[in-house]
Structure 1
Amino acid sequence: MGRGLPGGGGAGPESGPHPAEGRGGVRMKGRQAAGVRARGRQAAGVRARGRLGGWLADAALILYFVFALFPVAWMLILSLKPADQLFSTYFSFTPTLESYRTVLGDREGIPFTRFFGNSLVVSVGAVALSLVVGLPAAYASARLRFKGSENLMFTLLSFRFAPELTVIVPLFVLYQKLGLFDTYVGMVWVLQLITLPLVVWIMRSYFADLTPELEQAALLDGYTRTQAFFKVALPLVKPGVAAVSLLAFIFAWNNFVFPLILTSNEAQTVTVGALSFLGGDRPKYNLTAAAALVSVVPPLLLALTIQRYLVRGLSFGAVKS
């Protein structure tokens, strides 16, 4: 009774949703909505934790920069103070450039500008010698593997790890006998003992990252191994050369022990010469601060000049296979 015809509009038992099925669909939709809300809360929590982590990282960076720049700011303030206000407990003072005029004018009987020039000469000389010797050595070490090459590289790098005070006494005796004491040649030679291992070790990784097919193609074109080095490999690692040159210059410029022991006056560098203002009965802290800040200028200018190459050189080696 009451069965609908096929194709007709009759409403049989099959025509509408079963009550149980309707309740199941409602429960399923409810679970889906609850899942969406849970995922939304989870995503919001992740975003909140991400923002909190970003704030903490920013705060840590700010604290680090304050900690790192505080000595520089203190020296700057000290260098701008008049001599009669050096130990004043008041923060307010009348800034003056008299300390810089005294330092750069070679007053007080201290030839600071000569010390500054000495540092430029011996640092540039040490870096140049290290590049001339170290770049071919790094390339050969990366391409011409032989038994014991890794041990040789580690031995070379161990020279950089050795404390300077362990070799300073024999070097002092040797320099006295060879006439290298207080000379530019002697300082360039001893500073390249610091910079050469750095150049070889870092540039070796750059050359090792180069795909050998580039040099093999150059060799097939008739290039010699030396020509392949200068015309193919070396241009590809220019960012690395810029980065390692800056690092080597900073190491040579900042060295204190070797100039302190192996020089007396003629070849004395700025790191030792800046301390000359602390001598005497009345140490001149404002002049020492001014000399220290002036000595920071060359590495800073060099870093700004080669900044484009420096960022690339520190971020990647070269073309990888």
Structure 2
Amino acid sequence: MSKERLTGIAVNAGLVVYFVFALFPVAWMLILSLKPDNQLFNTYFSFSPTLDSYRTVLGGGEVEGVPFVRFFVNSLVVSIGAVALSLLIGLPAAYAAARWKFRGSENLMFTLLSFRFAPELTVIIPLFVLYQQLGLFDTYVGVIWVLQLVTMPLIVWIMRSYFTDLSPELEQAALLDGYSRTRAFVKIALPLVKPGIAAVSLLAFIFAWNNFVFPLILTSSNAQTVTVGALSFLGGDRPKYNLTAAAALVSAVPPLVLALTIQRYLVRGLSFGAVKS
């Protein structure tokens, strides 16, 4: 057997081992979610699988005092709301950053990016105090507003590159035809970057959906999301690990579906070139 073939076999074997290692937590959660209550603590891989945990979690009412379905709806509301607000403000900001350069513009963009990568725990205490004083604690508006720290920098930075790649001559021609700058932005620039808008919207939704720290500290019950609500089944005298696992897997479905969908839009967005002069 040649050396190249042995190397290929070793690489493939290593990839299989890593694949199993990386997916084992997901497989273990699936196993936990399928276990009945009476076999939860006394079995490992040999048990009678059941879908009772999923029926219980998705029942619609409060389960073990946890309204999981309402938490799921809350996540949809705040994630979609955060992305919509970020697009409304971020798209014009990205366009302006791509078209107008001034002293300190790059520093301003870097400051905006730092909001995305700064540890959330560094701002959570003053935000908690402000939210209590302003009446934003445990509200949809409060969660949507704070999630702008997650979604806005992402949208502005990615969309700036799309607008930069667009030829300014297209908008200048529209201005010569009597379009205002705003109308040229809406009618000319935005339609040309639709693939980029779709891709960045999906990315922003995934980041907003998966956020844990802000809903944990800034919500109580009314606006709590699934990332926090899924852990509520661990309370009480006997933690319901099967319900927690089922809730976590259910809450992972929307970002997983979007993550699989986003690949097509990313390819379209990256391959969508501007008109070159």
Question: What is the TM-score when the length of structure 2 is the normalising length?
Answer: 0.91
Within 5 Å, give how 1:21-32 maps onto structure 2. Answer: none
- Name the amino acid aligned to 1:72: V
- Superposition RMSD on alpha carbons, in Å? 2.0
Q: CA contact under 8 A between 1:172 and 1:181: conserved in structure 2?
A: yes
Identity of aligned residues (%): 81
CA distance in structure 2 between the partners assigned to 1:63 and 1:227 by the alignment: 55
Q: Secondary structure at the match of 2:236?
A: coil
**Greater relative contact order, per chain length (Cα 8 Å cut-off, separation 6+):** 2
Distance 1:64 1:137, change over 3 A: farther
Question: Within 2, Cα distance between the matches of 1:56 and 1:239?
Answer: 40
1:65: which partner in 2?
19
1:140 to 82, 96, 99: 96
C-alpha distance 57-196 of structure 1, shift in aligned 2 (>3 A) = farther
Whether the 8 Å CA contact 1:142–1:208 is kept in 2: the answer is yes
Distance (Å, rounded) in 2 between the aligned partners of 1:246 and 1:318: 20
Return the TM-score normalized by structure 1. 0.79
Secondary structure of residue in 2 paired with 1:167: helix
What are the ranges of 5 or more consecutive residues in structure 1 without an aligned counterpart?
1-44
Larger displacement relative to structure 2 (90-99 or 114-123): 90-99
1:109 and 2:69 aligned: no
Higher-Rg member (1/2): 1
Partners of 2:97 and 2:272 in 1: CA distance: 16
Give the SS at the match of 1:107: coil
CA distance in 1, matches of 2:122, 2:29: 32
How far the C-alpha of 1:92 sits from its partner, in A, is 2.4
Q: How does 1:73-222 map to 2 (within 5 A)?
A: 73-105=27-59, 106-222=62-178
Q: Secondary structure at the match of 2:163?
A: helix
Residue 250 (structure 2) pairs with residue 258 (structure 1)? no
Displacement after TM superposition at 1:205 (Å): 0.9
1:318 corresponds to which of 262, 269, 273: 273
**Structure 1 equivalent of residue 203 of structure 2:** 247
The 1:90–1:116 alpha-carbon spacing in structure 2 relative to 1, beyond 3 Å, is closer
State whether residues 31 and 45 of structure 2, in contact with CA within 8 Å, keep that contact through their aligned partners in structure 1.
no
Instruction: Provide Cα deviations, 1:67-110, integer angstroms capped at 9, x if missing partner.
Output: 33221111111101111112334522211010011111232121
Aligned residues: 273
Determine the C-alpha separation between the residues in 1 that align with 2:185 and 2:14.
45
Correspondence for 1:40: none
